[in-house]
C-alpha cells in the first residue's frame, strides 16, 4: 500500500485543525456523484450460500474469514482530504448483542423487537461470552491483522441508546412507554446506554491505533473516537430529548476523547440546543435527508448555529447551487463536507 508519508502528515495536521476549529482557508471537502441507496448483495452465510429473504442471521452462520475475503482493502491511505479505512459489515451489532433477532430482509440486515415488558430490561445486559460480541471482535481482529497498521480500522455502525430501545421494543410500544411509564422509559434508555458503552469500549480496546489516533468518517483524531447516533429522537420533542436522552449521550461522550453524534437534517432541530450545551461532545454530523425536507435554505440557520460552536460534518445529496450556499455561508473552521452532487430540480 502507498502511504504518502509527507501528504499523510500534512493531512493529519488538517484533521487536528478540524477538531480544534482552527482558522483555515477551506473546509475538509469531498464532492462526488449522488448515488441512491442500493440493496446489498445477499449476506454470505458460513456455508457460502446467500441469505434468503426473511432468513435469521445467527452468530454461527457468520464466517468472519469469508467476510474478509469479500471486501477490498483500500488502495491508498490518503484520499483527498480524507483517510481511507476499513470497517466491518453492518450486522446491527448493538441490536444483535442486546438480544434482537437479526434477519435478512429487503436487501438489508434488520433487527426484530423482542422485549415485551420493560421490567425485563436486565435481559439487555452484555456478558463477556455474548456470541454476537465474539463475532464482532473476531472480525475486528482479522481486519486489524490484515491491515498491519497501513490503514485504520474504523468503528462499525453502532446504533445509539434510543435506537437500540426502539429496536428491542418497537416504535409504538416505545412511545407509549415514554408517555405512560416515564420511569420505565428512563431505565430502558439507561440499559441501552450500558449496551452501547459495553460494545463500543470492547471494540475500542480490540482495535489498534493509527498514527497514534483513530479515524471516523475518514477524519483522523489524536485520541479515541466514537460515533453515537439518535435517529429515533424523531419520536421526541426537544424537551423530552433533553430530559431523557441527553444524559445517555453525555455518559457515552464522557468515555471517549473525540466523540461525535450522527443526526439527520429532519431531526437536528430537536437536539441541537442540548448538544451544543454538551461540552464533552466534540462534533456533530448531519446527514441531509434528500428528498425529504427541510431544504438547505431552511436548514441553513441551524447549520450556522452548529458551525459556530462545534465541528460540523455534513453528508448527503446536494445540488451545485446548494453546495455553493454551504461553502459561502458556513465558516471553514471545523467544517467537513462529504457530499454527492445531484441534478437541479
Q: CB within 8 A of 345, min separation 6: which ones?
A: 319
Which one of 3.30.70.1350, 3.40.1160.10, 3.10.180.10, 3.20.20.210 gives the CATH number of domain 40-208?
A: 3.20.20.210
pLDDT of 3 reads 45
Contact 192, 123 (CB under 8 A): no
Residue whose entry in the numeric block shows the C-alpha cell 456470541? 131
For residue 316, the model assigns a pLDDT of: 94
Instruction: Given CATH 3.40.1580, say whether it is the number of domain 13-34+224-345.
Output: no
- pTM (2 d.p.): 0.94
Query: What's the pLDDT at 132?
Result: 97
At 309 the pLDDT is: 97
Q: What sign results for the dihedral spanned by CA atoms 292, 297, 298, 303?
A: positive
Q: Which of 137, 178, 146, 149 is nearest to 161 (CA)?
A: 178
Separation of alpha carbons 242 and 236, rounded Å: 10
Write the burial class of residue 69 (CB in 10 Å: 0-12 exposed, 13-18 middle, 19+ buried): exposed
Q: Are 228 and 252 in contact (CB under 8 A)?
A: yes
pLDDT per 10-residue tile (average), the chain, 345 residues? 66 97 97 78 88 94 91 89 93 97 92 91 90 97 95 95 97 95 96 97 96 96 96 96 97 97 95 97 96 89 97 96 96 97 83
Distance CA 59, CA 248 (A): 28
SS3 103: strand
Read out DSSP for 252-263? HHTTSSEEEEEE
Q: Where in the sequence of the chain do the CATH 3.20.20.210 domains occur?
A: 40-208
Farthest CA pair distance, the chain? 59
Q: What distance in Å separates the CA atoms of residue 175 and residue 159, rounded to the nearest whole number?
A: 18
Which cell numbers hold the place of 257?
A: 476523547
Long-range contacts of 178-182 (CB under 8 A, 24+ apart): 178/235, 178/236, 178/240, 178/244, 181/118, 182/244
- Whether the CB-CB separation of 55 and 104 falls below 8 Å is answered with yes
Amino acid at each position: 500500500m502507498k502511504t504518502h508519508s509527507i501528504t499523510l502528515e500534512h493531512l493529519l495536521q488538517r484533521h487536528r485543525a478540524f477538531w480544534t476549529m482552527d482558522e483555515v482557508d477551506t473546509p475538509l471537502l469531498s464532492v462526488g456523484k449522488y448515488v441512491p441507496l442500493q440493496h446489498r448483495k445477499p449476506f454470505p452465510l458460513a456455508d457460502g450460500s446467500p441469505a434468503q429473504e426473511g432468513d435469521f442471521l445467527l452468530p454461527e452462520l457468520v464466517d468472519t474469514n469469508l467476510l474478509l475475503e469479500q471486501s477490498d482493502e483500500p488502495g491508498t491511505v490518503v484520499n483527498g482530504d480524507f483517510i481511507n479505512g476499513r470497517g466491518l459489515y453492518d450486522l446491527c451489532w448493538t441490536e444483535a448483542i442486546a438480544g434482537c433477532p437479526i434477519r435478512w430482509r429487503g436487501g438489508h440486515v434488520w433487527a426484530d423487537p423482542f422485549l415485551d415488558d420493560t421490567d425485563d430490561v436486565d435481559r439487555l445486559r452484555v456478558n463477556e461470552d455474548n456470541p454476537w460480541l465474539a463475532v464482532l471482535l473476531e472480525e475486528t481482529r482479522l481486519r486489524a491483522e490484515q491491515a498491519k497498521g497501513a490503514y485504520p480500522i474504523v468503528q462499525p455502525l453502532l446504533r445509539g441508546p434510543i435506537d437500540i430501545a426502539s429496536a428491542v421494543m418497537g416504535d409504538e410500544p416505545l412511545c407509549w412507554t415514554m408517555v405512560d411509564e416515564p420511569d420505565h422509559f428512563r431505565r430502558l434508555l439507561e440499559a441501552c446506554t450500558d449496551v452501547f458503552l459495553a460494545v463500543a469500549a470492547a471494540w475500542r480496546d480490540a482495535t489498534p491505533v493509527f498514527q497514534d489516533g483513530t479515524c471516523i468518517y475518514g477524519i483522523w483524531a489524536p485520541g479515541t473516537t466514537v460515533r453515537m447516533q439518535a435517529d429515533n429522537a424523531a419520536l421526541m420533542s426537544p424537551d423530552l430529548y433533553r430530559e431523557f436522552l441527553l444524559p445517555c449521550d453525555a455518559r457515552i461522550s464522557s468515555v471517549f476523547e473525540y466523540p461525535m453524534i450522527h443526526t439527520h437534517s429532519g431531526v437536528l432541530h430537536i437536539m441541537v440546543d442540548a448538544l451544543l450545551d454538551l461540552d464533552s461532545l466534540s462534533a456533530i454530523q448531519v446527514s441531509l435527508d434528500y428528498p425529504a425536507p427541510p431544504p438547505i435554505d431552511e436548514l441553513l440557520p441551524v447549520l450556522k448555529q452548529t458551525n459556530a460552536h462545534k465541528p460540523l460534518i455534513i453528508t448527503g445529496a446536494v445540488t451545485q447551487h446548494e453546495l455553493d450556499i454551504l461553502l459561502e455561508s458556513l465558516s471553514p473552521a471545523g467544517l467537513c463536507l462529504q457530499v454527492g452532487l445531484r441534478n437541479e430540480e
